[in-house]
Amino acid sequence: MFESLQDGLTSAIRTLRGRGKLTELNMRDGLRLVQQALLEADVSFLVVKEFMSRVTEEAIGERVLKSLDPSQQLVAIVHRELIELMGPVDHSLHLASDVSVLMLCGLQGSGKTTTCAKLGRLIKQRSRRPMLVAADLQRPAAIEQLVILGQNLAIPVYHEPGATNPVAVCRNAVQKARSDDVDVLILDTAGRLHVDDELMEQLAKIDRRVEPDQVYFVVDAMTGQDAVNSAKAFNEALELDGVILTKLDGDARGGAAISVKAVTGVPIKFIGTGEHLDALEEFHPERMAGRILGMGDILSLVAQAQQKFDQEEMAQQEARLRKGEFTLDDFRKMLTQANRLGPLNKVMGLIPGMGNLADTLGDADAEKEMKRLAGIVDSMTPDERRNPNRVIDQSRRRRIAAGAGVAPHEVNDLVKQFDGMADLMKQMSGMGMRGRMQAVQQLTKSGALNPGARLAKQKKGTGKRMTAKERAKAKRQREKESRRRKRETREK
């Protein structure tokens, strides 16, 4: 998400660092790079123009140029202006005590039907009783798709097979909701490949006859400026209450997220960050600005952890840590919990200071390394997991390695890493959230908590040209390792 924009802004700010003295001239050079990064990310030209006018006015002031760290002052200014540009956002859905009707509209292919189900799941988590309404009678598979999604979430779906009038379907759904004690109705309306009069007239009729409490426009972030233009058209026809930006986990350049509020005046309420039904988040301008500037988003990471982690298991681990207990079993459970948050690179990008390290790792390599470690632990007996240093001798190391499909020295490496991690985890048991995050950063940088760091170090060294002597030595080591493995295979 926002990789190109993040890279551009980081590069622009980096040009100002390390200079003996900043002047108005070289500050303007840096600001031009900021402007270029925004335009390349597909942010509206008028929005960029107004944004840069405000940033420049502050950035070339005497207070910034004469500060101890002008580049950090520029980061603070850009961060503050990004928040102003994308916010404020009222996250309340303004649900009534009676039946509240939420209407979703948008172009075909924006992910509207899936978003309808995601929103239903979110509302159900808030102890409300939602019902989904299949009012998209244009797309052949829309009704069937919504019914299947509703079954997966245990949320009722109202649909009328063979119906041709979406207004009647929506009005009948309201009556059904009242009789079935449903308090939130979510309408999945029809879309088109582009904005046209027929589509707008149909949506306007539903708006007049059903009078939804909230109207949300669902838009694909990957459509760039077209997303902003279509949002503007829908807002003029329906008076939108919010925008839901989907597919932000793809190749979105981020321009739509930054432009849509400034151009339409309609706030982004939610963002879709994946295909799974739990991948819908509230949009927080201050958190998004932090992600764009590579400052991480620890609050979103904590919120995801609270939703996706087994809270009972986490409480048990917490109690064990407070007693000074941490075993390879606990480490294995940590790996399982971490996998629930998604790809390792994505998680690391949310941790302040870890974004650059995340960029050095490939998703496939990092995930492969995580599975390798889990496989080694799974090949151990319960006693070996509890007391690895005392129990695991050379023969057991070979047996574990054979079971995990790795070399014996890799088992030894894990045990050594675990020693350092166990000490740090015990220290963390008495820390607050801030102290724990600092400890996590230390662990990740050292490679104790981040199995991909070892891969990053390997990759860093592969770019160096080896001498003939070094190549010969490396060849002898490979041959020696090969003979050792063959010997171990014969012994087994």
Say whether pLDDT at 374 is over 90: no
User: 246 near 65, Cβ under 8 Å?
Assistant: no
Q: What is the mean pLDDT of residues 345-373?
A: 56
Between 441 and 204, residue with greater pLDDT: 204
Note whether 420 and 331 are within 8 A (CB): no
- Burial (CB < 10 A; 0-12, 13-18, 19+), residue 90, is exposed
pLDDT of res. 451: 45
Band (pLDDT 50/70/90 cuts) for residue 455 is very low
SS3 state at 219: strand
Q: What is the pLDDT of residues 222-260, one digit of tens each?
A: 777 777 888 888 888 888 999 998 887 765 566 777 788
The chain-wide mean pLDDT, for the chain, equals 77
More confident residue, 437 or 271: 271
Specify the range with the lowest mean pLDDT, choosing from 3-7, 174-178, 444-448. Answer: 444-448
Region 213-225: mean pLDDT is 86
CA distance 402 to 76: 53
Report residue 104's pLDDT band, with 50, 70 and 90 as the boundaries: very high
Sign of CA dihedral 207, 211, 212, 214: positive
Q: What is the pLDDT of residue 293?
A: 75
Cβ contacts of 12 within 8 Å, gap of 6 or more: 30, 31, 33, 34, 36, 37
Q: Which of 214, 254, 201 is nearest to 103 (CA)?
A: 214
Decide if pLDDT at 458 tops 50: no
Q: Is 130 helix (H, G, I), strand (E, B) or coil?
A: strand
Q: What average pLDDT does this structure show over 12-30?
A: 70
Mean pLDDT of 430-454: 51
Q: What element of type H or E holds 217? A: strand 214-220
Q: What is the mean pLDDT of residues 70-77?
A: 74
What pTM did the predictor assign? 0.63
Q: What is the reported pLDDT for 353?
A: 46
Q: How confident is the model at residue 432 (pLDDT cuts 50, 70, 90)?
A: low
Look at residue 307 in the predicted model and tell me its pLDDT: 53
Q: How many C-beta atoms surround the C-beta of residue 105 within 10 A?
A: 27
pLDDT in tens, 154-179: 999 999 988 989 999 999 999 999 99
Domains identified in the chain and CATH numbers: 3-86 (1.20.120.140), 100-293 (3.40.50.300), 303-462 (1.10.260.30)
**pLDDT of 397 higher than 80:** yes
Whole-angstrom Cα distance, residue 258 to residue 264? 11
Contact yes or no for 7/255 (Cβ under 8 A): no
Sign of CA dihedral 454, 459, 460, 462: positive
User: In the prediction, which pLDDT does 452 show?
Assistant: 45
Of the segments 46-50, 68-72, 150-154, 348-352, which one has the largest average pLDDT value?
150-154
Burial of 41 (0-12, 13-18, 19+ CB in 10 A): buried
Average pLDDT value for residue range 74-90: 84
Q: What percent of the chain has pLDDT above 90?
A: 21
Q: What is the pLDDT of residue 364?
A: 47
Contact by Cβ (8 Å): 328, 380: yes
Tens-place pLDDT, residues 274-309? 888 988 988 888 888 877 776 544 444 445 555 555
